[in-house]
Amino acid sequence: MDDLRKIDAAHYVAGHGRSQAPWPEVLDPQRRYFTVILEETRAAIRNRKTLQQATDEVGHSEAKNWAAFDTFHRRNVTTAYTELEWE
């Protein structure tokens, strides 16, 4: 996302619906979501939560911000957990 922010884009296509936000501010909600997932997943691992517990608990504060939350969120947490558990 840091590399994307550097692009001087005149036009962009939002991945999950229309946005009136200007470039690159349109990326801010996604960054916030990924930061929540990152921080809360690391905390879950530190606290010896299982993968199931993490998918049940991590990032649910973001549910109201994403129309497709129920479709993709558990997979996102699962991916984060399986990558971060080896840090």
Q: What is the pLDDT of residues 52-75, one digit of tens each?
A: 999 999 999 999 999 899 999 999
Report the amino acid identity of residue 72.
Answer: F
- Rounded CA separation 31/35 (Å): 6
Cβ atoms of 58 and 41 closer than 8 Å: yes
- Rounded to a whole number, what is the largest CA-CA distance in the chain? 45
The alpha carbon of 14 is separated from its chain's Cα centroid by a whole number of angstroms, namely 15
pLDDT digits (tens, 9 = 90+) for 1-44: 899 999 998 888 876 667 788 899 999 999 999 999 999 999 99
